[in-house]
Amino acid sequence: MLDVPVLISGAGPVGLTASLLLSQHGIRSLLVECHPGTSVVPKSRGINARTMEMYRQLGIDAAIRAAGLAEGRLGLIVWAETLAGREIERRVPGRATAKNLAVTPTPNCLCAQDDLEPVIRRCAEAAGPGELRFDTELTAFAQTPRGLTGTLTDRKTGAETSFSARYLIAAEGSQSRVRRALGVNMIGEEKVYDSVNILFNADLTPWTRHRPSALYFIEQPDLRATFLTINGSDRWGFLIHTLSQYGYQPSDFTPERCTALIRQAAGVPDLPVEVLGVSAWEASAIVASRYRDGAVFLAGDAAHEMPPTGGFGLNTGVQDVHNLAWKIRRGDAR
């Protein structure tokens, strides 16, 4: 039987950071992830100053910044009728003011999740004594007086491995199987609004390079949408909120329809667009009734879901495990 002090389920930014933090404290852990690798889509993008301070403590802030958007490529929030048309307003967000930048050695960073996760993974694998196993799923667990036992399953071969652990950190995201198995309720408001994210390639620099921004809000009578900066040149996200108010269904977002909407928002009818992916989702504002059940801890979206405004989801999850790793160390889980 495999015996490990801490088992981590889920290799998003929260689980990967938990592995790295525990290794920094000298605590052996095993992280398992059912997918074969890290995220292949951007998902979260904004890393706030406090989270970057934590990554500075881990010695990886420079690597994250190098993987993300270069400094100086942000600084504004822009509202416009179209990218090529009339600008309505532009603002400097509070976090970008000189006063706020002066209080930290590590200002916020924009690094899309599919660029961020490989950096943390590489550092976690190099750190030790933590171990990472992809294509491996936590398929069963039961709590015991000394922690928990259960089964890990290799997704490629179907081979099962029994394990025992002192603690389990469930960082599996909003659909956490561990949370559901524990019967932990979520409190708050579900399905606040529905949205669709479109990932696409297009050169938008003629309309953005002179006003670098993380967000370009498009305001039209029949379309309220947002261009989400990823690399600041040819890779972007396009977000449409409250689909039902426009009479849209997720199935309406064919590549052709997505291209038409992006061109409408850009104000460039012949803009070359390559649609890479479409993801429909619903925002919720909910929190777990408890973060701990015996030897099991919930972290990240498994513990709390929030709308994306402000980019607090990833940051709150990373700060969950920053606090938790310290407490596990104090409990001498080694």
Domain extent listing, the chain: 2-71+107-184+290-330, 191-283
Mean pLDDT of each 10-residue bin along the chain, 334 residues long: 96 97 96 95 89 95 92 82 96 75 83 95 94 97 96 96 97 95 95 90 96 94 93 92 80 93 97 95 92 96 90 92 92 54
Can you tell me whether residue 162 is helix, strand or coil? Answer: strand
Instruction: Say how many CA atoms lie within 13 Å of 111 toward its Cβ.
Output: 27
Burial of 17 (C-beta count, 10 Å sphere; 0-12/13-18/19+): buried
Burial of 32 (C-beta count, 10 Å sphere; 0-12/13-18/19+): buried
- Give me 266's structure tokens: 């850009």
CATH architecture for the domain at 191-283: 2-Layer Sandwich (3.30)
CATH of domain 2-71+107-184+290-330: 3.50.50.60
pLDDT of residue 333: 44
